[in-house]
Amino acid sequence: VRHVVQSGESLGTIARRYQVTVGELAAANSITDPAKIRAGQSLVIPGFHAVGNNRPATTPAPATTTPASTAA
């Protein structure tokens, strides 16, 4: 997924929007100074895919259940 930076946005606000850390966002885009992003810049959002309303690409582990023991 890509995000085009809008005027007034920071790496922090974009990271929160996509539920990633500023460090992950900076690393995915080779940004060494998080304060130096500009409107119109296209950023790769790590860990997201294009389908599913910007939900994380990873899925939670399935819930585990313990079978009930039966008394004999």
8 A C-beta contact, residue 44 and residue 28: yes
Residue 59: CB atoms within 10 A of its CB come to 7
pTM: 0.65
The string of pLDDT tens digits covering residues 60-71 is 444 444 455 555
Tell me what pLDDT residue 71 has. Answer: 57
How far does CA 8 lie from the centroid of its chain?
20
| pLDDT tens-digit readout, 38-48 | 999 999 999 87
- pLDDT of 68: 57
CA angle (15 as vertex; 60, 2 as ends), nearest 5: 85
d(CA 46, CA 25): 7
- Mean pLDDT value across the chain: 79
Place of tokens 């313990």: 66
Structure token pair of residue 57: 């690409």
What's the pLDDT at 55? 44
